[in-house]
Chain A
Amino acid sequence: MNCTLESPLESLLFVAGEPVTIADLARALERHEAEVEQALRSLQISLTERQSGLQLLRIAGGWQLATRPEHAEIIGKLLTRGGNRLSRAAMETLSIIAYRQPITAPEIEAVRGVSVSGVLKTLQDRRLIKEAGKKNTVGRPIQYVTTSDFLHYFGIADLSQLPVIDSDTPPPEPIPADLIANGTFHISQILTNN
């Protein structure tokens, strides 16, 4: 029923090459946002139904066309992947920033117990975090926040998708075998296997 809207929508998403907000799409199509959202959902379904090589994702505050995960291997044969996976140190720092932003370097260090200046530089270079003013305390330290690239990197739509944490959170689950194979492993695992 939304056929007339789905088609131009697909074109728009194709050319955009970055997550597009419903507001932007609605402006381009001169339609109501609710209509556009409905069309986005039906386009999402129709892509699956017609077994398209593309899928429509809600990511980093917008909508974007992406390839299907099952084609990753084939794509890998055509394209060379750039960018390494994030290190454990980078991940830990990033998770602390994500939950407690805006946060300063000393505040992160207080949680992690190690210096984070090098990691912050890496994360900034990868545009996963950015500076957001200075805290009004002694020394006026720089505050950091996560970027929309952060959301995009992890394929999530917004920060609310991060798991809920509080002091009653049970300890982390044992690391799955595939992570161990990738070099991230735990001393306890090695010790219990002795």
Chain B
Amino acid sequence: MLLAHRASCRVDKPLSNVYHYSYTIIPNLSCAKTLAGSTISDAHITFKGPETNPTMQTSRPVIRDNTTHFANPPMPHFSTTVFEGPLDLLLQLIRANEVDITDIPIAEITTQYLSAMELMEALDLTVAGEYLVIAATLIEIKSRMLLPQIPSTGDEDSEDPRAELVARLLEYQQYQGVVLTMQGWEMQRRQIFFRGALENSDDYILPVPEGEAHVSQLYQALTRLLAEAGMNEAAITTITPRRRLSLRLTMAGLTRKIVNFPEGIAFDSLFNLPCPRYEIVLIFLALLELLRYEKVRFEQKNLHEVIMLYPVAAREKLV
């Protein structure tokens, strides 16, 4: 698909009028060779995404004001999905040149590598420092290889200056191979679905395996508790329909509730959390009223213990 939509165009001009597309830049080897040290004259632009058919360029309205357009061309938007870093770029150059990784023609590869960097710079891609590190390494190796070898005396054989880089490339290449396997697995795995355990959380609770709880879970629990306590009141802008609040009605409801528990009911269970703050206040006021009229009595065995409420029978009241 990508290849089908590929368009070759001159960088200096057409870029400015197709800037609203997303591009991927692939330096062309044949041109990269001629590029070294000169200006960018040719680059291959690959169009990505559904709206990338190059023929669409003309159908899209492009604001063209020749005076300002060329004076201040808009920045094209690029994505560099091609290289995953300098080692990746280097490996791709080695593969494209079909050379042995253990016997890299340093001079040639260095030239191509620098051209690719130059191309990225010319297209206003921010070339990360990591690319420069490898570039420096390449140049260093190149210079060391240009120097005449000191005839080795004894068995300390002169090491290939490329050895360290080759080792790095080989290791990196291994992981690239693994990535392909993992991408295959990912695709297969995305074809199957599992059911989550959460749907049943009301019916039963799975024990949390030790050490698997996370800070975020604690935070979630806290948020839930606060919500239950009515702390997350609706935003000020919310319009709530006016509700008739009546102390008398609340008192009646409360009495009915408490009468059902001759053996006592806990203070906390009077509130149906989560509920708005005014409801908590209302229930509390109603309770105070009931206590005043001696329809309810309360008891607390010890400090900080649960406050229990008991209905007062009609005859008890007389005492």
Contacts and interface: CB of A to CB of B under 8 A. Distances in A.
Contacts, number: 162
B194 interface: yes
A96 B175 contact: yes
B257 to A, nearest CB: 36
Given A67-B192, A111-B171, A193-B3, A172 B176 contact: yes
Nearest to A108: B175
A188 B190 contact: no
Interface residues of A, number: 62
Nearest to A69: B191
A67 B194 CA distance: 7
Most buried by A among B44, B101, B179: B179
B219 to A, nearest CB: 15
Interface majority SS on B: helix, strand, loop or mixed?
helix
Contacts of A92: 84, 175-176, 179
Nearest to B199: A17
Interface of A: 14-18, 55, 57, 64-69, 72, 75, 79, 81, 85-86, 88-89, 91-92, 94-96, 98-99, 111-115, 153-156, 162-163, 165-167, 169-173, 175, 179-181, 183-188, 190-194
B96 interface: yes
Contacts of B300: none
A188 B197 contact: no
B172 A190 contact: no
B131 to A, nearest CB: 9
Nearest to B212: A148
B173 A17 contact: no
A14 B194 CA distance: 10
B82 A175 contact: no
A192 to B, nearest CB: 8
Interface residues of B, number: 61
B130 A169 contact: no
Q: Which 4 A-B residue pairs are closest in the complex by CB-CB distance?
A: A17-B197, A114-B85, A155-B189, A69-B191
Contact of B87 (A112, A115, A181): A112
A184 B96 contact: no
Contacts of A183: 2, 48, 81
B112 to A, nearest CB: 11
A165 B92 contact: no
Contacts of A171: 95, 101, 173, 177
Contacts of B2: 180-181, 183, 185
Nearest to B32: A191
A106 to B, nearest CB: 13
A122 B292 CA distance: 61
A69 B194 CA distance: 11
23 contacts: A17-B194, A17-B197, A57-B192, A65-B195, A66-B193, A67-B193, A85-B187, A86-B186, A92-B176, A113-B85, A113-B133, A114-B128, A154-B182, A165-B177, A167-B174, A171-B101, A172-B179, A180-B2, A183-B81, A186-B92, A187-B83, A187-B93, A188-B95
